[in-house]
């Protein structure tokens, strides 16, 4: 942090000593005063996207003030710095590019990776990496995926106490199959069809090897890779370094925590409750696998997608789908009909198809279950399978609900009902914090289950499936402790006693450096 970044918080005597007189107004502001002033400015902006741009600029110019602001106003600013507003920023990434932030690893640099990483002087605790092929529900945005990496790392620091100076966003540029980007003269990425197949995996092998060589203890989070690659990359590297895929494992963890909380309030047990997941890609299969582990069997979890119920006779079944594929005789292409037959207590949407949970689907859920758990998780907002108002209207307010995108409170029976957001921010910052604090060598399934149980241990108000977003910092600490203890129990970390002191030492707080 240089002194110009401190701005009006730089003491007057220090300005004089360093020859900075006249470079800023006279008043010496405290960090709290700066925060209040900048918050007024952000609040006065006319659109969420303008707010996003202002906050991104603040993040570059004065990260201490940025994180001080975000931590104090996280419920309000979370959807601004991340989804849904970050989606537009990713779509317009090349037009908005002004300065370097993070690393762009092009296919053309595949023989220079060690030199690229060696030139990075900072030590790094957490990397978020994306190739931009499946950004949110927006598709292939190429190097626009960098916006997701920057946003996720902002949440690592705001909610998980990771020092932002020790994080690195990383975008892998292997081309794009987006026809608009291929023809757009302003697009800054490599304008060629995506490298695929074995050459793609050879390049990713080089990237991961170079990362492991430069920062052997780093936590590496994979983000927004296409389904065809996401599971393969997870299987390929999870035993080589401390890595996980947030779309598969982070989404699965927080969704599972919502399911467990909902079933507890409904008076049901997971092992006795049929679960129907609509969307059989990486996120859907990840949730299915996590719930199957928690239930002790995959038998009650079923997958449904655009081709109907996932059955054993389907061509091209992925390894992740196979444990949940049903006999061919059970084939069904109608979601309402399947609900009537299966009588699920839990309906989860990760389809990316806005409005898919229509009145027929919601009516069926309300008829087969007194208190159904319904999770329309696709984002951004327009991709949500149903809105909270629709769910509660059709089910008479009986459904237990969490959404993937943020929604305002909904009036139900004359009272405002808060909508729980099934946001991965409840899980991944704590996973990273715990792994960094105890220098975990891997991130195991057991550590992820420990994260689910830590989130689920929080007392909740009736109808809520997650704690208030204001408590995500506390949740991150609880998740970190659970993850650390599990890592030690599984032989993946070496430390003695309670990990809480190590977590406290790792936890970063926004503050200005002082020479005194």
Q: Could you report the per-residue pLDDT of 472-515, keeping only the tens digit for each?
A: 999 999 999 999 999 999 999 999 999 999 999 999 999 987 64
* CB atoms closer than 10 angstroms to residue 514: 8
Q: Kind of pairing, strands 400-403 and 420-421? A: parallel
- pLDDT confidence band for 6 (50 / 70 / 90): low
Residue-number span of the structural domain to which 459 is assigned: 425-506
Cis peptide bond N-terminal to 380, omega within 30: yes
CATH of the domain at 74: 1.20.1370.30
CATH of the domain at 402: 3.40.50.720
Q: Tokens 């932030």, residue?
A: 101
Together in a domain, 400 and 450: no
Q: Alpha helix (H) ranges present in 238-298?
A: 251-266, 282-295
* pLDDT 10s digits, 230-279: 999 999 999 999 999 999 999 999 999 999 999 999 999 999 999 999 99
**Boundary of a domain, candidates 399, 421, 443:** 421
Please indicate, yes or no, if residue 412 is contained in any of the structural domains: yes
Residues 6+ apart with CB under 8 A from 485: 450, 499
> Is 82 assigned a catalytic role?
yes
Residue 379 known to bind ligand: yes
Together in a domain, 350 and 403: yes
* pLDDT 10s digits, 284-296: 999 999 999 999 9
**Boundary of a domain, candidates 405, 421, 437:** 421
Distance between first and last Cα of the chain? 15
Q: Which of 27, 67, 97, 152 is catalytic?
A: 152
Q: How far apart are alpha carbons 66 and 84 in whole angstroms?
A: 19
| Beta-bridge mates of residue 479 | none
Q: How far apart are alpha carbons 199 and 17 in whole angstroms?
A: 56
Together in a domain, 437 and 405: no
Tokens of 10: 């730089």
* CB atoms closer than 10 angstroms to residue 261: 22
Together in a domain, 382 and 460: no
| Beta-bridge mates of residue 412 | 415
Cite the beta strand spans of 226-342 per DSSP E: 243-245, 275-278, 301-305, 308-309
pLDDT on residue 514: 62
Together in a domain, 405 and 261: yes
Together in a domain, 253 and 394: yes
pLDDT on residue 463: 86
Q: How far apart are alpha carbons 264 and 196 in whole angstroms?
A: 44
Task: Show the CA angle centred on residue 42, arms to residues 38 and 48, nearest 5°.
Answer: 160
Q: Tokens 């699920």, residue?
A: 344
Together in a domain, 410 and 431: no
Please indicate, yes or no, if residue 135 is contained in any of the structural domains: no
Contact 466, 460 (CB under 8 A): yes
How many structural domains does the chain have? 3
Query: SS3 for 183?
Result: helix
Together in a domain, 411 and 326: yes
Please indicate, yes or no, if residue 401 is contained in any of the structural domains: yes
Residue 493: is it exposed, middle or buried by C-beta count within 10 angstroms (0-12/13-18/19+)? Answer: buried
Q: Is the pLDDT of residue 117 over 80?
A: yes
Residue 28 known to bind ligand: no
Tokens of 260: 């467990």
Together in a domain, 412 and 430: no
Percent pLDDT > 90 in the chain is 86
Please indicate, yes or no, if residue 210 is contained in any of the structural domains: no
Contact 106, 201 (CB under 8 A): no
Q: Is the pLDDT of residue 3 over 50?
A: no
pLDDT on residue 381: 85
Q: How far apart are alpha carbons 246 and 252 in whole angstroms?
A: 8
Residue 224 known to bind ligand: yes
* pLDDT 10s digits, 91-110: 999 999 988 889 999 999 99
Together in a domain, 430 and 414: no
Residue 134 known to bind ligand: yes
Q: Is the pLDDT of residue 5 over 60?
A: no
Q: Which of 67, 82, 426, 512 is catalytic?
A: 82
pLDDT on residue 471: 94
Residue 423 known to bind ligand: yes
Query: SS3 for 472?
Result: helix
* pLDDT 10s digits, 134-189: 998 789 999 999 999 999 999 999 999 999 999 999 999 999 999 999 999 999 99
Together in a domain, 394 and 452: no
Please indicate, yes or no, if residue 385 is contained in any of the structural domains: yes
Q: Is the pLDDT of residue 447 over 80?
A: yes
Residue 246 DSSP code: I
Q: Is the pLDDT of residue 426 over 80?
A: yes
Please indicate, yes or no, if residue 294 is contained in any of the structural domains: yes
**Boundary of a domain, candidates 421, 446, 466:** 421
Closest to 181 (Cα-Cα) out of 195, 192, 170, 196: 192
**Dihedral class, residue 19 (left if φ above 0, else alpha if ψ from -120 to 50, else beta):** left
Please indicate, yes or no, if residue 334 is contained in any of the structural domains: yes
Together in a domain, 495 and 375: no
Please indicate, yes or no, if residue 216 is contained in any of the structural domains: no
pLDDT on residue 113: 97
């Amino acid at each position: 942090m240089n002194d110009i970044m401190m701005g009006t918080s730089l003491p007057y005597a220090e300005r004089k000593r360093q020859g900075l007189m006249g470079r800023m107004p006279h008043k010496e502001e405290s960090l709290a005063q700066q925060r209040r002033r900048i918050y007024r400015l952000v609040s006065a902006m006319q659109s969420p996207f303008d707010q996003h741009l202002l906050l991104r600029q603040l993040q570059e110019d004065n990260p201490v003030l940025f994180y001080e602001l975000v931590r104090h106003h996280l419920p309000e600013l979370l959807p601004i710095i991340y989804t849904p507003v970050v989606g537009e920023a990713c779509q317009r990434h090349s037009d908005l590019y002004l300065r370097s932030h993070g690393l762009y690893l092009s296919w053309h640099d595949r023989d220079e990776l060690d030199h690229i990483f060696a030139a990075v002087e900072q030590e790094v605790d957490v990397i978020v990496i994306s190739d931009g092929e499946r950004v949110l529900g927006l598709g292939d945005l190429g190097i626009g995926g960098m916006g997701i990496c920057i946003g996720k790392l902002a949440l690592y620091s705001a909610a998980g106490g990771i020092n932002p100076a020790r994080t690195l966003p990383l975008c892998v540029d292997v081309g794009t199959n987006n026809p608009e980007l291929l023809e757009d003269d302003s697009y800054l990425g490599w304008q060629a069809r995506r490298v695929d197949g074995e050459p793609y995996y050879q390049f990713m092998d080089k990237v991961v090897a170079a990362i492991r060589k430069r920062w052997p203890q780093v936590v590496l989070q994979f983000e927004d890779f296409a389904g065809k690659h996401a599971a393969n990359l997870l299987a390929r590297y999870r035993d080589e370094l401390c890595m996980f895929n947030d779309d598969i494992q982070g989404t699965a963890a927080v969704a599972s925590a919502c399911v467990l909380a909902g079933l507890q309030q409904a008076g049901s047990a997971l092992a006795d409750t049929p679960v129907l997941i609509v969307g059989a890609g990486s996120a859907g299969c990840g949730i299915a696998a996590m719930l199957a582990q928690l239930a002790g069997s995959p038998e009650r979890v079923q997958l449904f997608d655009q081709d109907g119920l996932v059955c054993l006779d389907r061509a091209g079944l992925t390894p992740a789908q196979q444990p949940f594929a049903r006999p061919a005789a059970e084939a069904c292409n109608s979601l309402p009909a399947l609900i009537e037959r299966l009588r699920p207590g839990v309906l989860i949407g990760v389809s990316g198809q806005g409005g898919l949970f229509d009145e027929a689907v919601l009516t069926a859920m309300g008829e087969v279950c007194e208190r159904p758990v319904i999770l329309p998780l696709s984002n951004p907002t327009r991709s949500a399978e149903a809105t909270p108002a629709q769910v509660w209207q059709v089910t008479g307010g009986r459904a237990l609900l969490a959404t993937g995108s943020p929604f305002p409170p909904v009036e139900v029976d004359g009272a405002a009902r808060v909508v729980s957001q099934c946001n991965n921010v409840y899980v991944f910052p704590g996973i990273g914090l715990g792994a960094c604090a105890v220098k975990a060598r891997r991130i195991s399934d057991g550590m992820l289950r420990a994260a689910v149980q830590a989130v689920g241990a929080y007392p909740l108000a009736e109808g809520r499936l997650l704690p208030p977003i204001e408590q995500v910092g506390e949740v991150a600490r609880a998740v970190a402790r659970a993850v650390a203890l599990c890592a030690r129990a599984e032989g993946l970390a070496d430390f003695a006693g309670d990990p809480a002191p190590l977590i406290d030492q790792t936890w970063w707080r926004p503050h200005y450096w002082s020479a005194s």
